[in-house]
Amino acid sequence: MGKRVLIVGGVAGGMSAATRARRLAEDAEIVVFERGPHVSFANCGLPYYLGGEITDRNKLLVQTPERLMAAFNIDVRARAEVVAIDRAARQVEVRNLATGMSSYERYDALVLSTGAAPIVPRVPGAERPGHFILRSLDDMDAIDAWVRERGAEKAVVVGGGFIGLEVAEQFHRRGLQVSVVERNPQVLKPFDPELAAHLHAELRKRGVALHLNNGLARFDAPAAGEDAGASVVVLANGARLAADVVILGLGVRPESKLARDAGLDLGTTGGIKVDAHLRTSDPNIFAVGDTIEVTHAVTGKPALIPLGGPANRQGRTAADNIFGIGTKYPGTLGTASVRVFDLTAAVTGANEALLTAVGIAFEAVHLHPNSHAGYYPGAKPLALKVLFAPDTGKLLGAQVVGADGVDKRIDVLATALRAGMTVDDIADLELSYAPPFGSAKDPVNLAGMAAQNVRAGRVAVIQWDEIARLDRSHTLVLDVRETKEREGGTIPGSVHIPLGDLRARLDELPRDMEIVAHCATGQRSYNACRVLMQNGFRCRNLAGSFKTWKAAQDGAQ
């Protein structure tokens, strides 16, 4: 008989480990313990069932215990919770949640895939009925039933992360009035604020009320005149939001108690500490998924990055190492995307806040290229940001927001980031081109070229948030757009000379001041800087120009 492999927890990491283990070792005995009723389901699809985009609940069930036994000879035990690990005896205590009885199971190798638990705020009234988290099919069913049976009309989503925004979108689709509460100044912390600003605008355009920079204080029972089927959500500034249903989307924390109680090492983040082979401090125990502390693939620092894709690959890696293959997990980039009505937002690698926090030097370029050739119908503008090391040009991170072609660009950039590419490399990538799908110079190529210009000193850039701190006695802001474009707004105090007139009007510009040039997106102002610099002026180009600056101003409202 081969190895006896026990896996605690199913879904992404656990089931990936189990099926990979079976493919590697037909003689292994593989047992999966799942405390919930469903061992393998599409948890990322839960919000879309609530909104009615997914209509068949059964499609969310990826595998059942019966199918797993038939296809893989894996013994799956649902409603079975592992409550203790005896490392010396190499056994676990398992409680049958239906009967309350306990049993003991021996292992040669143990995989912990216990996941992460939603954060529930410790504020008065949090336990009131009509408040939900969304983690499981049971949670989804309970929310759906509450909304239907109570005729809910007003929803408050507490937390502007990925799940929070997906639920907000889907409740809106269902016809509810939706408010999103976020204690930070922006939604989606992995994004920099000027990118998140585009999502703020889209949410507000759809009628979603955003309460940013305003945390949760408590949940009250409705007072006289307050029509709330669940609670009145009271914010830090005293605002009172009546809610018929409340969704708590405040993030998750690793479920590492089982490991901690067994004496396994935890990392500084609270996740289970593992090595590159996903082995814990006990050589016979592995851990995968949202419960572990990973190494951020850009910063090299410990991080918690709860995502389904990495969890699946970690499960495979753990199984490889149980059976002697010696695969290493390379760290997590945090590549993720989310749809918010007509926009898609996607991110990979590190953002400015993370790079600043860990002391990594960076430069950033902003672009607003079209998703495909502008002359072909349906082209949509993208907001694209690329961060890179100023000395080596190595990619550090990227963010994209737009209505079309976002996933394509972030996947190329995530691949380049994993490969250790530089901005020179992405400038020269050979990407497919046809008018309905792209441009001869793809947005990824253009980002590399813009970064090359910065590194080569052909232009210096200034970021949108630096404009407010400029000393205007020594700096002139030059708008090189056409006159009609200024009707849509201007940077206060800017001087206007259209690019086509610039060469003839150079004598109107002071040579003893630095000039910050901008256009709509940055391309014309780059050309303006090249004219000015070759005529003896000091010039910096506003990265992303007016579009980025304006989005950031509007998004902060």
The span from the CA of 385 to the CA of 450, in Å, is: 11
DSSP label of 266: B
Q: Which of 242, 252, 253, 251 is nearest to 130 (CA)?
A: 242
354 burial (CB, 10 Å; 0-12 / 13-18 / 19+) is: buried
Q: Which of 43, 44, 341, 49 is nearest to 169 (CA)?
A: 341
Q: What residues contact residue 108 under an 8 Å CB cut-off, 6+ apart?
A: 3, 4, 5, 90, 284
β-strand pairing of 495-496 with 475-479 = parallel
CA Rg, the chain, in Å?
27
The span from the CA of 271 to the CA of 268, in Å, is: 7
Residues designated as active site? 44
Six-digit token string for 268: 């500084």
Kindly write down the DSSP assignment for every residue of 485-539, as one continuous string.
Answer: GGGG---TT-EE--GGGTGGGGGGS-TTSEEEEE-SSSHHHHHHHHHHHTTT--E
Six-digit token string for 330: 């390379």
